[in-house]
Structures are given as C-alpha cells and as structure tokens.
Amino acid sequence: MTINARTDPPTGGLGRTLIRLMMRPAWIAACEPLGDRFRLVTLEGAALRGVSWTPGQKVQIAMGSAFVARTYTPMDWDAVQGRTRFLGYAHGEGPGSDWLRSLAPGAQCDVFGPRASLNATHLAGPLVVFGDETSMGLACALAAQDPTRSLACVFEVADLEAAEAVTARLGLSRAALFRKATDEAHLDTIGEALSSLAGAGASFVLTGRAAAIQKVRGELKRRAVAPRRILTKAYWAKGKAGLD
C-alpha cells in the first residue's frame, strides 16, 4: 500500500470489496518514533467514532491488501473524537515492520476491528503483565482501565536501553526489564522474580512470545498458582508471521 494516498490493493476486485465491507478507513494523525524499532501511532477517522472497545482487544491493519494484515493492541480509544493509539514494534523485515518504519502523518490505512483477543476483567487481585516489546501497549491499556489497581510489568527485551526509554515514555513506572538470552536463562530469573508476586495473590497476564509464555506458565503452575489467575495470549512465535 502506498501510505501517502489510498490505493487499490493488488488483490483486485475481491480485495477492494472486502476492505469496503469489513474495514474502517482511517488516517495517521501522528507517528512518534521511540528509538529505531518502536512507533507510537495515532489513528483518526470518522469510522472510528461510536466504537465500543475494551482494553485487550485487537485491531488488524491491512498491509496493502485485505489478505495481508498485521495485528496491534490499542492503548486507548476515544469513541467521541474517533481516535485510537497503539505502540508498534518492528521485529525485523516484513510487511508490518516496513509499514511502521515508513509511516508519516497523513498516510491512510484500513482497520479491521476492534475484535476480541484478551479480556482481563475477570482476574482478581493485583495484576502482573508478562511479555515483551509487543506487550507494552496492552500494559498501558490495562493500567488505564483501572488506575486504582496495582499493576506491575515484567518484560523480556532485546535492547534494555531502548525498552527503558519506551516504558518511561508510556508511564509504565513499575516495569522490570530483562535482556533476552540466547539460552533462555533470563526466563529462569523471571520465574524467580514472579514467585513473590504469586505468593501475594497476584493474577498474571502472559503475552508476547509463545515459547516464553509456555515456560513462564509452567513455572507459575509449579508454584501452585491457580489456573483462574493466569491468562495467556501468544502474539507471535519464531518462524511464524503472527498468531493474533
């Protein structure tokens, strides 16, 4: 998709029909670079007004075609003004990363959703969000949902300095950051860090990388955390374009 003006997707008539029937047109009101890989993106549009949204829900944005889309978690949604924000993270090369890096105010896009993805409203007690760079927007949404609720974040990240700057920009003051290790040893350290929170009656939202979620969930179960206190949602897995 050419981001400076709306163009017909390469899939032809079927793609155009799906976009017209299923997606909401929007435009990029702001795109704030937070380091090399992060972008804080604001979408606006009349089609975003009057929308019912719950923190944890997802949107999908077409990458030039109704059949190629990338998923993002809105941080907030102003249904009166028709405005929403999300934090995008460019993993590497691919349609989603290329789109994020090339965004500029005024670019147009097509949005599908919001749709159900993760709902933490039933979780009791203090909340702990585990994940990675792709989970930071969700943490913001959950923190804003109930400002009186205790919320802590534990993120595995590739670049500590960049992640520290982003969490500070987003106001995630209770964010513990762990550098990813190739041998996954950092997950053992994270498991130990979560043990005291588990003992304090916290509930856990595990998101981000599928393999990391599996290991952390296993550690929580080993520490006898009840399944009703654990909510999981894998956003991505190595070698796969996307899970959600």
Q: How far is CA 116 from the centre of its chain?
A: 13
Contacts 24+ apart (CB under 8 A), 21-27: 22/66, 22/112, 23/62, 23/66, 23/110, 23/111, 23/112, 24/48, 24/110, 24/111, 24/112, 25/108, 25/109, 25/110, 25/111, 26/108, 26/109, 26/110, 26/111, 27/106, 27/107, 27/108, 27/109
For 37-63, how does the pLDDT look when each residue is reduced to its tens digit (9 = 90+)? Answer: 999 999 999 999 999 999 999 999 998
Who wins on pLDDT, 158 or 10? 158
Q: How far apart are CA 217 and CA 104, in angstroms?
A: 39
Q: What is the pTM of this model?
A: 0.89
CATH of domain 127-236: 3.40.50.80
In this prediction, residue 10 has a pLDDT band, given cuts at 50, 70 and 90, of very low
d(CA 106, CA 127) in angstroms, rounded, equals 37
HSE of 57, CA atoms in CB hemisphere, 13 A? 16
> According to the model, what pLDDT value does residue 95 have?
85
Q: Output the pLDDT for position 15.
A: 54
pLDDT for the residue 196: 82
For the chain, give the number of residues: 244
- State whether residue 154 is helix, strand or coil: strand
Classified by CATH at the fold level, domain 13-115 comes out as: Elongation Factor Tu (Ef-tu); domain 3 (2.40.30)
123-182 pLDDT, tens digit per residue, is 989 999 999 999 999 999 999 999 999 999 999 999 999 999 999 999 999 999 999 999
DSSP three-state, residue 63: strand
Where exactly are the structural domains of the chain?
13-115, 127-236
